[in-house]
Amino acid sequence: MYTIYHNPRCRKSREALQYLKDHGKQIKVVNYLKEPLSKSTLKEILAQIELQPSQLLRRNEADWKAIENRNKLTEDQLLDVLVNYPKTIERPIVISATSGVLARPLENLISFLNSN
């Protein structure tokens, strides 16, 4: 079973979801814009994909650009930004029971599935 943290308006996210479906994977789809992630859940996801909050941040989003002193924030403060402004989360994220991947580009997802 794989969980995909998905934004249906994102082409890369739709491609990853379709890839999972095309390869017969059991999928749980979480639209994180409609089902916001808690800080603890996002911490767990980051641990599974082995990334820091700064590595998951979409820096071109208006929500990010509107934050004063944004370039001086700690990783914990960046985690709060990701929780409070979910559009700033890079997507898609695909996780299994024990690991995961930022599935952008799609090749990251393919490598992840091949190693599981």
What pLDDT digit, counting tens, does each position of 15-69 carry? Answer: 999 999 999 999 999 999 999 999 999 999 999 999 999 999 999 999 999 999 9
Per residue in 1-17, pLDDT (tens digit) is 999 999 999 999 999 99
pLDDT for residue 104:
92
3-state secondary structure 48-104: HHCCCHHHCECCCCHHHHCCCCHHHCCHHHHHHHHHHCHHHECCCEEECCCCEEECC
Measured CA to CA, the distance from residue 73 to residue 18 in angstroms comes to: 35
Summarize the confidence of residues 108-112 as an average pLDDT.
Answer: 96
Q: Quick check: is 10 catalytic?
A: yes
Q: 68 has which bridge partners? A: none
Measured CA to CA, the distance from residue 78 to residue 56 in angstroms comes to: 9
Global confidence as pTM: 0.92
Domain that holds residue 83: 2-115
Query: Token pair for residue 17?
Result: 């979801």
pLDDT for residue 70:
94
pLDDT for residue 32:
96
Catalytic residue among 1, 5, 6, 10: 10
Q: 9 has which bridge partners? A: none
Q: How sure is the predictor about 94, in pLDDT bands with cuts at 50, 70 and 90?
A: very high
Tally of structural domains, the chain: 1
Query: Can you give the CATH number for the domain in which 72 is found?
Result: 3.40.30.10
